[in-house]
Each structure stands twice: as C-alpha cells, then as structure tokens.
A and B are shown apart, each in its own frame.
Chain A
Amino acid sequence: MSANLSAIFYLISGVLFILALRGLSSPETSRQGNLFGILGMIIAITVTFLSIGNFSTSFIYVLIILLAGGSIGALIAYKIPMTAMPELVAGFHSLVGLAAVFVAISAFLNPEAFKLGSPGNIKIASLIEMSIGGAIGAITFSGSIIAFLKLRGIMSGSPITFRGQHYINLLLGIAIIVLIFYLCNTQSESFFWRLIEISFLLGLLLIIPIGGADMPVVISMLNSYSGWAAAGIGFTLENSALIITGALVGSSGAILSYIMCKGMNRSFFNVILGGFGGTDQTIYSKGKDKKPVKSGNSEDAAFLMKNASSVIIVPGYGMAVAQAQHALREMVDSLKKNGVKVSYAVHPVAGRMPGHMNVLLAEANVPYDEVFELDQINNDFANCDVAYVIGANDVTNPIAKTDPKSPIYGMPILDVEKSKSVLFVKRSLSPGYAGVDNELFYRDNTLMLFSDAKKMTEEIVKNLN
C-alpha cells in the first residue's frame, strides 16, 4: 500500500475517532459513536499491516500477541463491576502510558524501521518528539499506577507529603528538559534511559501527595497526559491518526480536569500540589460532638418519604462503596408507586471519577432523564419535601457558602438545606474528605440515619411495602 493511500486511511480513522466522541453528546447517539471508534481502530490497524506488507512469521506472532492482549482486555471489560470503574480507567491509562514508552524505546533502538535515520544518527526533531512522547508516557504510567493503588484501596487514600517535595518535582522536571537537550546533542543511549527513569519517578512523586477524593481531577489529568504521549509518538511516526487522537484525548482530559476543579472551586495547581484534607480532621470535629443531633430509623424515614410529594436523592461516594445503587432504585420504585415524584441530584465531583454516579445509577436501571446536574436541579430543593442524602457529605455542606475560613469555601454545593426535611444516611458524624464538620447534621429539619447506606435503604424499602 502506498504511503499516500495509507495516510488517507489514517486520516479517515482520525475522523472516525472524532465522531466517536461526538456521539457522546447524548445517550441516544453514544452507541453509534462507539461503533465509529471501533471502526476507526480496525482501519488503523489493518492499514498498518498492509503498509508494512510483512506477512512472514513475525506477522503471526504479532497477531497472536494482539489477540492474547485483546482477550484479556475483553475478559476484564465483561467481568469488572461498575463500582470499580475508576480504578479500571486508571489501570488502562497506565497501559497506554507504558505502551507509549515502549514504542518510544523501539523507535530509539531501531530508528530504521520507523524511517527516522540510523542509531546514533536520529533526526533531531524525531528525537525530541520521541523523548517527549516517552517521558509523558512514563509519567502517565507510574502516576496511573499510584492512582490505581489508591482507588483500589491497596494504598492509603490519604495524601503522602514530605518537605521539599514540590522542589524535588520541579528539579526532576528540569532534569527531563536538560536530558532531552543532551540527548539531542550526543544521541547517547544512556541519556535516553535516564530520561525514561526520571520520568517514571516524577509520575510517582506527582500523584502520591494527592488525596482520595481529588482522584476525579487526577484521573482526568492522567487521561490528558496519555493523549499528549500518544500525540508525541504520533509526530515521531508521522501518523495523522495518532496525532488527531492524541490531541482529542489530551484536550478531553484537560477539560474534564477543569470541570472537576471548578466543581470544587479549587485551582488546578491547588489540587496537583496535593496534601488537601486528611490530617486535621480530628481538630475540626472536636468540641462539636455535644451538639444535639436528631437521629431516626428506617420507619421514620419511610414514613417521611411516603407522605412527601417530591423527594430528591443525593448520591455520593458512600453509595458506591456500599454498592447501594440497586437498593436505592427499589426504594425509588416503591416511592413512585405511592405517587411521590423522585429525582436525583448529582454533584460534579461526587464519586471518584467524572460521571461516576451517573454510571452507577444507569447500572441500577435509573432512567437518565431522572438524573440531574447541579445547575439543573439546585433550585428545586426549595420546593422539595425530602432530600435523601446517601453517601454524600462535603458537597451538601452549607458552610461552603458562609465561612470564608473553611477549606471548602466557595465550592458550589447542592442546596440540600433548603428542602423541608433532610434524611442523611451515614455511618457516623465523622467529617467528610475535606475534614470539615457538616453543620447540616445539627439542623432541626435533619434526621440522621446512622447505618450502612445499603442496609438502611433496604430497610426503608421493607417499611415502604
């Protein structure tokens, strides 16, 4: 296949990838979009095989490896529970990152195969491109591994901080640039390996200070990095499908990070520098323990909701942990049978990744047109009888509006406080991730339901029927 013809096919697959993302503008068109994506991928892979035109033994090896990896991927895709989506995505990011590193290494070791010159005499532009692709890939890999371990709970979600950490990161960043410079000057292999090693280290150090609930930002950021890595490699390979995809994924991740940061009213740098929450929780909660709290049981909750005319459900990470989404749907079904109007309010940063709550609710067969974003539903709380807060905390805390000293001041919150009564399912009065006590707990119209989210919801269902 001629180079020009394959370039046109790569362009087509790039366009199909654009259509894949375009499809996600509504659930109706999204499945078609995904098919476009798959088609784009098939075209890109087929064209690559045809343009190399090498169908010898190594082709068989490549095919076997491709199918082996593919079956593992397919297996994971079918087995993975929806609650594990955040760590799955983090894990997948690490694979893209590592693949980018390995492609960069292959290109460096065997530049002839990629038509980039000969070993020791690689074109400077290609050298810069593959260094950038490899370095960002390495950062994506090690960063995603840390994110994966934190999300999976293998590593503590609390931030790990030490003195001078940001200076070390800055130093490593500078070292990467210096190494690329020397690599271009000398073409020396050892500079290339140091570059990859330092990038791995930097990825690690970048993510360890960031706490669990900031993971939505981290995952989006790593998503973006994996895109830039792909684009870097795309420049090296002079492949437009890769360049287009890299740019798409890069900007997609960046926009998601921005949306997540805005959802917390924090700057991107504030999140990335890390160390938020975690440590000073005890100081905040002390001294407030004596305030009176009204607590109730499932019967009270069922009674309140049965007699309400409208109920808004506010799900949060706690719902994901307790896997309470199915029980919740059952509860809503019985409420609807009783003529209660029910809708769901999802905060942008609820859960551990963008759109986390939406997917869980979708899994439990909640129609997507009953699920609303913050802007769409926030005014409705004033007219709603009961707000059922299940597993959310900080995103409902009115202190974000009133106390400029609070770490969450200015964060857009769901106006749960405005509803006639608030049911708060929570295991204890402990503060949320931000380490701030939620004054909603002590309001007269709040009824605390101390229990596991799933257990409580199931009991309410029993009492409703």
Chain B
Amino acid sequence: MEIDPFIFRLSIFILSIFIGYYVVWSVTPSLHTPLMSVTNAISSVIIVGAIIAGLSGDMKSIFNTSNIFGFVAIFLAAINIFGGFLVTQRMLQMYKKKKKNK
C-alpha cells in the first residue's frame, strides 16, 4: 500500500515543531522581541497561497471574488513581510551599535 502524501507533510510538521522547540529555547531572552517580529515576518510566507489565489483564473476574470480575496491577502502579507523583517533588522542594528561603543 502506498503512503498518503499527507503523512509526509505531517512528518515535516511534527519534526518542525521539535526543531522549533529546541531552536527557540536557545534564543537569548534579550532577543525575545526581535524573535516575535521575525516569526511574524516569516509566517507571512502565507503570501504564497495569496499569490496562487490572486493569479488564478484567466484574463477575463481576474476580478472574481476569489481573486480579490487573494489580492487583499497579498497586500496584508506584504505589509507584514517588509515591516516585520525591516523592524527586526532595525532592532538588531541597535544591539550592534552598543558593541562598537564599548
């Protein structure tokens, strides 16, 4: 019997939870705020689904309901991606400056 591809995805999911568990415990507490903003940015990879939705359909019907939800989702996720990574970068720069001043 063949294994359902779902099981493979489930394996990835479960193993990633464990990776997340160990990786996040090793994050230094002083960087917990950047951790939140960067996790926020990466979870916006959901934009992948939004792009699929936005680009679906042919030329005549690029503005049906499904596409429009896709477009809005792209917009929201894009705010998050740029905002999340840049604000993280901005915070992390501050941790650098101090090192120099020492």
Contact = CB atoms under 8 A, between A and B. Distances in A.
B90 A99 contact: no
A247 B16 contact: yes
B81 A70 contact: yes
Contacts of A102: 50, 53, 69-70, 72-73, 76
A70 B29 contact: no
A80 B44 CA distance: 20
A93 B40 contact: yes
A235 B65 CA distance: 23
Given A22-B26, A358-B29, A106 B70 contact: yes
A367 B98 contact: yes
Interface string B5-48: 11001001110110111011111111111111111111111111
Contacts of A49: 51, 55
B32 A13 contact: no
Given A73-B80, A358-B30, A358-B31, A252 B24 contact: yes
A396 interface: no
Contact of B82 (A13, A27, A77, A241): A77
Interface residues of A, number: 116
Q: Is the interface of B mostly helix, strand, loop or mixed?
A: helix
Contact of B83 (A61, A66, A76, A358): A76
Contact of A242 (B20, B46, B88, B90): B46
Nearest to A13: B45
A285 interface: no
A58 interface: yes
Contacts, number: 382
Contacts of B38: 20-21, 24, 33-34, 37
Query: For chain B, which range describes its interface: under 10, 10 to 19, 20 to 34, or 35 or more residues?
Result: 35 or more
Contacts of A247: 12-14, 16-17, 19-20
Contacts of A233: 46, 49
B48 A362 contact: no
B95 A243 contact: no
B34 to A, nearest CB: 6
A25 interface: yes
Nearest to A126: B6
Interface in A84-121: 85, 88-89, 92-93, 95-96, 98-100, 102-103, 105-107, 109-110, 112-114
A226 B43 contact: yes
Given A65-B75, A96-B80, A355 B35 contact: yes
Contact of B95 (A30, A54, A241): A30
Contacts of B32: 256, 259, 353-355, 358
A34 B89 contact: yes
Contact of A103 (B46, B67, B78, B79): B46
A365 B101 contact: yes
Given A61-B62, A95-B77, A243 B13 contact: yes
Contacts of B95: 27, 30, 362, 368
Contact of A62 (B35, B42, B74, B80): B74
Q: Which one of B26, B42, B87 has the greatest number of beta carbons of chain A within 10 Å?
A: B42
Contact of A245 (B45, B71, B77, B98): B45
A367 B27 contact: no
Given A27-B92, A41-B45, A74-B86, A249 B19 contact: no
Contacts of B3: none
A26 interface: yes
Given A13-B45, A247-B16, A21 B24 contact: yes
Interface string A43-84: 011001100101011110110011111111110111010100
A235 B78 contact: no
A14 B32 CA distance: 21
Contact of A92 (B33, B45, B54, B83): B83
A109 B50 contact: no
A52 B52 contact: yes
A279 B15 CA distance: 44
Contact of A252 (B33, B35, B41, B72): B35
B76 to A, nearest CB: 4
B73 to A, nearest CB: 4
Contact of A251 (B17, B36, B59, B85): B17
A113 B57 contact: yes
A109 B86 contact: no
Given A77-B83, A247-B16, A98 B33 contact: no
Interface string A367-387: 110010100000000000000
Contacts of B45: 13, 17, 40-41, 44, 230, 241-242, 245
A249 B44 CA distance: 11
Contacts of A109: 65-66, 69
B1 interface: no
B55 A243 contact: no
15 contacts: A21-B27, A24-B27, A25-B26, A34-B85, A37-B38, A45-B47, A58-B54, A69-B79, A77-B83, A89-B36, A95-B77, A125-B6, A234-B13, A250-B20, A368-B30
Nearest first, the 5 closest Cβ-Cβ pairs linking A and B are A69-B78, A355-B32, A113-B56, A73-B83, A73-B82
Given A113-B56, A234-B9, A239-B48, 10 more contacts: A27-B30, A37-B41, A37-B88, A82-B94, A92-B37, A106-B70, A248-B24, A346-B29, A362-B30, A365-B101
